[in-house]
Amino acid sequence: MELRLRPDYRLIILCDADSDADEGLADAIGRAGSGIAVATDWSVVISVAQDLIAVDVRLVYREGTPGPAEPLEFDIDLPTGTVRLGDPGAGAIGGDIEGGPGVYRVRVTTHGRDEAVAALQALRTAGGYTEADLDRYAGVEQYRLELWRLGDSPAEEDD
């Protein structure tokens, strides 16, 4: 799954398509600005470096077991196996994960964050920019989200 967008609020969110009730999401969005990525039980929230140049996001399903833990790794539950990937507004796409419903390890890797900020600063310093100027740098800032299925989703508790 691949997406190019100018994320609203400088945020990219990966979540289960039916995760409207993610109680920790508002807090995670608030915490996202202090780093690159944070997570709740059902979502990963990424704070992009800038919001004027389009960024590329790629979601990749991996077979097997993830290697040693990395700093930007999170375990999240995707109970329907259908995800929503994009910004909090209308800039999102959805699709089924190859591994189906379950708990997943999500590894976030980045590329080009500093370069995108530098390009935007250079455009501003030059006295302004056009859409064509911004489009010239589209995709410099990139995010890859790799998913490994760890197991089944926890059973829901009856009320």
Report pTM.
0.90
pLDDT tens-digit readout, 80-107: 999 999 998 888 999 999 999 999 999 9
Structural domains of the chain ordered from first start: 2-151 (2.60.34.30)
Do the beta carbons of residue 90 and residue 108 sit within 8 Å?
no
**Spatial separation of the C-alpha atoms in residues 119 and 100, rounded to whole Å:** 39
Other C-beta atoms closer than 10 Å to the C-beta of 103 total 17
Tell me the torsion sign for CA atoms 105, 97, 92, 55: positive
Single-letter amino acid, residue 1: M
The pLDDT of residue 145: 97
